[in-house]
Amino acid sequence: MTLTLNNCPAPAKLNLFLHVTGRRADGYHLLQSVFQLIDRGDVLHFATRDDAHIRRSTELAGVPEESDLIVRAAKLLQTAAAQKNPNKNFGADIAIEKNLPMGGGLGGGSSDAATTLLALNHLWQVGLTRAELMALGLQLGADVPFFIFGQNAFAEGIGEALVAVKTPDRWFVVIEPGVSVPTQKIFSSSELTRDTKPVKISDFSGAQDCFGKNDLQVVAEKLFPPVAEAIKWLRQYGDARMTGSGACVFCPFEQEQQADAVLATVPTHWKAWKAKAIKHHPLAYLQQS
């Protein structure tokens, strides 16, 4: 019997600040960041199959099926499901409406992977706990555990050590500068500073601005001039900065009307939109523990 779960959101994140505090022996960087969920993202649709095939029913330009994080997430969960229940075939057809830019620093691919793990854990009745799904997700990318965690969070480690944090209700204007930034290119730069002094979560709590800075921004601005241009333009209106490793930049506003007023003046060569801060991942209800 085919079971379906349609219109599953994969929300984007903004890194309100992102400090690089060190580097591990394996080359991965130690970070401190606050991850903020927003009400804009991709949308995924799932239908189970009983022949053990995982199929992508929509194309994703430039991403072959075997490297698509959605397909990789489904296959990872399929292995775990088969170990728990060897007599059953776990398969799925997955369609995606891609709204988030790739290499945008909005965590699009990671969020797609997290939504896939949450939806298929439910549809296939695998019964993995939230912690088990987060551990699987970490194999796919440093941002995936956050989306499964399901709440705004202060992140440490390589981004996987998470503590829930309260963030203000507000609106963001986000500009897509029209370039795709490969995360690895920013982290491997010799110009990246890796020694920001660690902060405590209590330093952030209650801060109305975005707090701190994004250490990856200096490098991205140098390598990708459109990022620098977008930040310079948006800074006229507030504490604008880059999210993740770029390319997108954002600025917070207390009122929706303020965001609308700024949006109306964004130069037409950039794609720009507004988004609202949300407190929980919309699929958090699927995961009990």
Ligand X SMILES: Nc1ncnc2c1ncn2[C@@H]1O[C@H](COP(=O)(O)OP(=O)(O)OP(=O)(O)O)[C@@H](O)[C@H]1O
Ligand Y SMILES: C[C@](O)(CO)[C@H](O)COP(=O)(O)OP(=O)(O)OC[C@H]1O[C@@H](n2ccc(N)nc2=O)[C@H](O)[C@@H]1O
CB of 82 to ligand Y, least distance (A): 25
d(CA 234, CA 156): 28
**Could you say which DSSP state residue 280 is in?**
B
From the list 112, 156, 160, 221, which residue makes contact with ligand X (rule: CB under 6 A)? 112
CA-to-CA dists, residue 139 to 19, 110, 168, angstroms: 22, 11, 31
- Nearer residue to ligand X within complex by CB, 63 or 284: 63
Residues 190 to 229 in contact with ligand Y, rule: CB under 6 A: none
Binding residue (CB under 6 A) for ligand X from 11, 41, 104, 252: 104
- 158 in helix, strand or coil? coil
Distance CA 254, CA 210 (A): 12
**Binding site annotation covers 105?**
yes
Using CB under 6 A, which of the segments 60-68, 207-215, 229-237, 258-266 binds ligand X?
60-68
By rule CB under 6 A, what string of x and - marks binding of each residue 65-94 to ligand Y? ------------------------------
Number of residues that bind ligand X (CB under 6 A): 20
Given 11, 103, 108, 141, the residue binding ligand Y (CB under 6 A): 141
Q: Which of these ranges, 77-85, 180-188, 195-203, 228-236, lies near ligand Y under the rule CB under 6 A?
A: 180-188
Contact between 110 and ligand Y (CB under 6 A)?
A: yes
Between the alpha carbon of residue 142 and those of residues 119, 135, 158, the distances in Å are 20, 10, 6
Print the binding letters for residues 66-95 with ligand X: x by CB under 6 A, - otherwise.
Answer: -xxxx-------------------------
DSSP characters for 169-227? --EEEEEE-S----HHHHHT-TT----PPP--HHHHTT-SS--S-BTTHHHHHHH-HHH
Residue of 139, 167, 168, 174 whose CA lies nearest to 153? 167
